[in-house]
Amino acid sequence: MKPVSRVLWLGCVLVFCFQVLVPCGLPGVCGLDNGLAMTPTMGWLHWERFMCNVNCQEEPDSCISEKLFLQIAEIMASDGWKDVGYEYICIDDCWMAPERDSKGRLQADPKRFPGGIRRLANYVHSKGLKLGIYADVGNKTCAGFPGSFGYYDIDAQTFADWGVDLLKFDGCYCDSIQHLAEGYKQMSLALNRTGRSIVYSCEWPLYMWPIFKPNYTEIREYCNHWRNFADIYDSWQSIRNTLDWTSSNQKIIVPVAGPGGWNDPDMLVIGNFGLSRDQQITQMALWAIMAAPLLMSNDLRHISPEAKALLQDKDVIAINQDRLGRQGYRLRKENNFEVWERPLLNLAWAVAIVNLQEIGGPRSYTISVTSLGRGLACNPDCLITELLPEKRKLGFYEWTSSLKTQINPTGTVLLRLERTSSVQFSYSAVSDSL
């Protein structure tokens, strides 16, 4: 080969490798190349609502058994959940038998999952849904079942053989930070080697933070989403803590989120016991702004029509699933109000205004639209639609107008702003100026 054509050939190979192996969103932030989670994962995960209830004798309807997942899958397919995008039905901890089988493979508890995971996966697939499962990078799962340390390839292959479509990989009982990082990477590679498309949900940064600041660029190369912060509880305090952590760390975590890799603020607890109507609205609105995986943990067999309508709200889901794939951030905090915003496709913006005051009645908040969307959301004018708590068109706003809202205590007003005329704008400005 002549030197020039060799250079050309090498150049082509490098360009090819770069394009095929390194899908990059923001410059320098490359994602796991498994083609999955191009928008945040949507589905259902058992943990917050059903935890580690293994007592099927006394509580046959709420213990962790194949019956629970068969019933939830059936409802997800028939009650409109699948139609709006909830696709993954995910098993969390406590599905395993206490020991591996004679070949070293994980096995489901035979009493609670008599048909095994393979049969459950077949049923879930027959409903047009996908199945998620749970394992742990260390020696034991958080609830004390067998861990995957030393078994990453065997476990990845077992999950692929069963037809699993998502793995939540926890980080309990890992003896060193090196084993933690290596384990998360090795499991990612092992899943890829199976050739099956398996969404990889990590808790890697959550277990790193107490020791040192996680390397998010690296985490994004291996995981489709990652938990950063403590487990969610069915309480307003827990929602607030999660939002506070997210906004306090937004400079670090917002720029890394994008198609293929998302920050995971944990499950939606809407439809349970601990949140008021306004607080449920706040969770739904803010999870949309944060481009969070929407993994409900509730009992879809017994859910109020209001909670169902909120979780199935197509306009709010459209913000969560927006194809631009940019996570929103907190713009302002004043007088116990917070304003969050998120850039959307076609120069549109989502804006959430939260009233954090827990005393008194609804309070009004007035904002000049000039300050929204980096000064461009309403330049020269925009159409504003309120999505939550009510769905209504608020009308046209000029660049110099003010928008007045009334917000219940611990509630949120979620707005969508559409530009009425377009100007050139580079979204890199958004992450640069965070």
Residues with catalytic roles: 170, 231
Site for ligand GLA in 199-238 (CB under 6 A): 203, 231
Cα–Cα distance, 69 to 117 (Å, whole number): 11
Q: In what order do the strands lie in the sheet with 329-334?
A: 329-334, 337-343, 349-355, 412-419, 381-388, 392-398
Specify the stretch interacting with ligand GLA by CB under 6 A; choose among 2-10, 140-148, 298-306, 418-426. Answer: 140-148
Number of residues that bind ligand GLA (CB under 6 A): 9
Taking the least distance from each CB to ligand GLA, the nearer of 52 and 384 is 52
Q: Between the CA of residue 194 and those of 140, 158, 166, 262, what are the distances in Å?
A: 23, 9, 13, 23
Shortest CB 167 distance to ligand GLA, Å: 12
Taking the least distance from each CB to ligand GLA, the nearer of 295 and 387 is 295
- Compute φ and ψ for 386, nearest 5 degrees: -85, 130
Helix, strand, or coil (residue 342):
strand
Find, among 247, 195, 254, 154, the residue nearest to 34 by Cα: 195
Shortest CB 205 distance to ligand GLA, Å: 12
The contacts of residue 164 (CB under 8 Å, 6+ apart) are: 117, 121, 131, 132, 133, 196, 198
Taking the least distance from each CB to ligand GLA, the nearer of 171 and 325 is 171
Cα–Cα distance, 355 to 278 (Å, whole number): 10
Tokens of 44: 């259902």
Site for ligand GLA in 35-54 (CB under 6 A): 47
Find, among 313, 328, 310, the residue nearest to 417 by Cα: 328
Tokens of 285: 């609105």
* 264 binding ligand GLA? (CB under 6 A): no
Tokens of 16: 């090819």
Shortest CB 47 distance to ligand GLA, Å: 5
Site for ligand GLA in 282-321 (CB under 6 A): none
Shortest CB 86 distance to ligand GLA, Å: 18
Burial string for 297-334 (b: 16+ CB within 10 Å, else e) reads bbbbeebeeebbebbbbeebbbbbbbebbbbbbbbeee
* 143 binding ligand GLA? (CB under 6 A): yes
* Binding pattern for the stretch 148-187 against ligand GLA, x by CB under 6 A and - elsewhere: ----------------------x-----------------
Shortest CB 143 distance to ligand GLA, Å: 4
Taking the least distance from each CB to ligand GLA, the nearer of 153 and 231 is 231
Taking the least distance from each CB to ligand GLA, the nearer of 91 and 367 is 91
Taking the least distance from each CB to ligand GLA, the nearer of 210 and 361 is 210
Contacting residue, 66, 93, 264, 299, with ligand GLA by CB under 6 A = 93
- Compute φ and ψ for 299, nearest 5 degrees: -105, 95
Specify the stretch interacting with ligand GLA by CB under 6 A; choose among 102-110, 115-123, 136-144, 235-243. Answer: 136-144
Taking the least distance from each CB to ligand GLA, the nearer of 45 and 331 is 45
* 142 binding ligand GLA? (CB under 6 A): yes
Shortest CB 33 distance to ligand GLA, Å: 26
Shortest CB 421 distance to ligand GLA, Å: 46
Cα–Cα distance, 253 to 341 (Å, whole number): 15
Specify the stretch interacting with ligand GLA by CB under 6 A; choose among 27-35, 138-146, 177-185, 422-430. Answer: 138-146
Helix axes 152-162, 116-126, angle to 10 degrees: 50
Name the site residues for ligand GLA (rule: CB under 6 A). 47, 92-93, 141-143, 170, 203, 231
